[in-house]
Structure 1
Amino acid sequence: MQNLVILAGNVGATPETRTTQGGTKITSFSLATSRPKRDSEGKVLKEGGRRIEETEWHRITCFNGVAKTVAEYVEKGQKVMVRGRIHYTRWTDQENIERYGVEIIADEVTFLSYGKSRQQQQGSTQDNEDDDIPF
């Protein structure tokens, strides 16, 4: 059996990076995924001709090389696809209450769009070459 997750969505905020005492680079970001909202019969709900969507937020954690690339190139609003695994955590807080959490440990992050700053750079250049996303 395998623990495998693939998510495609929009980055919710600028990724945050930290380094452990042992030198491991860790970058985290939130990812929003959406799906159409359905009624009890399974029909897609619409409002004003547009479908209503439900958004879910996922906490993504990257390590080492993937963490470095994400920290350098990923921006809020960018579309990415994450391939990784689900990781559950349990801890006791300062008030002695047991807490639970879930995150996605990313093995790969594929860029489905450029970040806004890169799009602006692309728009201001005058060459006609097609640029590929570098990763």
Structure 2
Amino acid sequence: MTNLVILVGRIARDPETRTTQGGTEITQVSVVTDRPARKDGKTYKDENGYTAKDSEFHRVTCFNGLGQNVAKYCTKGQLVTVEGRIHYTQWEDQDGTKRYGCEIIADKVDFLSKGRANGSDTANEGAPDIDED
């Protein structure tokens, strides 16, 4: 049996990191992916003549060292590849209503473009090299 997720998308917002009481660092990012939109089972063009797109936002959770690297080197708009597994959760909110969640637990995050920090070119100083065309 396999639970494998591979996403290629852009960071939708800057990473957020927190530390549990046990000392585990958890970094979360939102990755947005696009796919062709469909009407009546067919793709269609938008008002500018481009293929219309539907965007999906994925909550990605990274632990410890991977999370530290993502927090340090990833910024909003950066293109990344995420490999991991899908994880579902269930809980009751304060009103006793059952809530459900879905997230990707990342095993690997590859940086496909360089990030930026306040318009600076030094945002990824010290980051691993990437191939650029």
Q: TM-score range by the shorter chain?
A: 0.7 to 0.9
Instruction: Among all aligned residue pairs of Structure 1 and Structure 2, give the percentage whose two residues are the same amino acid.
Output: 52
Deviation of the 1:40 alpha carbon: 1.7
Amino acid aligned to 1:40: D
Q: Pairwise mapping of residues 1-135 of structure 1 onto structure 2 (< 5 A)? A: 1-117=1-117, 120-121=120-121, 132-133=129-130
Deviation of the 1:47 alpha carbon: 2.6
SS of aligned partner of 1:13: strand
Amino acid aligned to 2:40: S
Amino acid aligned to 2:95: E
| TM-score under structure 1 length normalisation | 0.85
Query: Does the aligned pair in 2 maintain the 1:11–1:77 contact within 8 Å?
Result: yes
SS of aligned partner of 1:66: helix
Provide Cα deviations, 1:71-101, integer angstroms capped at 9, x if missing partner. Answer: 1100011010100000000000000000000
Say how many residue pairs are matched.
126
SS of aligned partner of 1:65: helix
Deviation of the 1:118 alpha carbon: 9.4
| TM-score under structure 2 length normalisation | 0.86
Query: Does the aligned pair in 1 maintain the 2:43–2:52 contact within 8 Å?
Result: no
Query: Does the aligned pair in 2 maintain the 1:31–1:58 contact within 8 Å?
Result: yes
Q: Which has the higher helix share?
A: 1
Deviation of the 1:20 alpha carbon: 1.1
Unaligned 5+ runs, structure 2: 123-127
SS of aligned partner of 1:23: coil
Query: Does the aligned pair in 1 maintain the 2:6–2:83 contact within 8 Å?
Result: yes
